[in-house]
Amino acid sequence: DAMVIQNPRYQVTQFGKPVTLSCSQTLNHNVMYWYQQKSSQAPKLLFHYYDKDFNNEADTPDNFQSRRPNTSFCFLDIRSPGLGDAAMYLCATSTPGGIDDTQYFGPGTRLTVL
């Protein structure tokens, strides 16, 4: 089945130690999104890639960066995680303007910062 895959599902890191989260898709969608969801809160968009074009949200901290080496993969890099970065990180994909113009989500990576 076509899907959005996130690895790892659970990630523990130390304060200030860089961490990378991975997302891959078999849907062949143009757009890949990263959302941050803190406990009992709504997901908040960090940034997205439309093909190779990177689009950052205005209030996303510089500590968060992303890479998309090809259509299938997208990475979220947190350069120096703080305690406040502990959250669920959701990857989503879509093809805007397509027949099915809907965002599909992966299962998320739960990040713990010690």
Partner 1 sequence: AQTVTQSQPEMSVQEAETVTLSCTYDTSESDYYLFWYKQPPSRQMILVIRQEAYKQQNATENRFSVNFQKAAKSFSLKISDSQLGDAAMYFCAYRSVSGGADGLTFGKGTHLIIQP
Q: What residues make contact with partner 1 under the rule CB under 8 A?
A: 30-31, 33, 35, 40-45, 48, 50, 55, 57, 90, 94, 96-97, 101-108
In the bound state with partner 1, the residue whose beta carbon lies nearer, of 39 and 70, is 39
What residue type is 74 in one-letter code? C
Smallest gap from residue 102 Cβ to partner 1 (A): 6
In the bound state with partner 1, the residue whose beta carbon lies nearer, of 42 and 83, is 42
Structure tokens at 104: 């599909």
Smallest gap from residue 70 Cβ to partner 1 (A): 18
Smallest gap from residue 16 Cβ to partner 1 (A): 28
In the bound state with partner 1, the residue whose beta carbon lies nearer, of 18 and 111, is 111
Q: Is 2 exposed, middle or buried (0-12, 13-18, 19+ CB in 10 A)?
A: exposed
In the bound state with partner 1, the residue whose beta carbon lies nearer, of 16 and 96, is 96
Q: Is 21 exposed, middle or buried (0-12, 13-18, 19+ CB in 10 A)?
A: buried
Place of tokens 């990630």: 11
Smallest gap from residue 31 Cβ to partner 1 (A): 5
Residues in the chain: 114
Of the candidates 33, 53, 32, 55, the residue with the CA atom closest to the CA atom of residue 45: 33
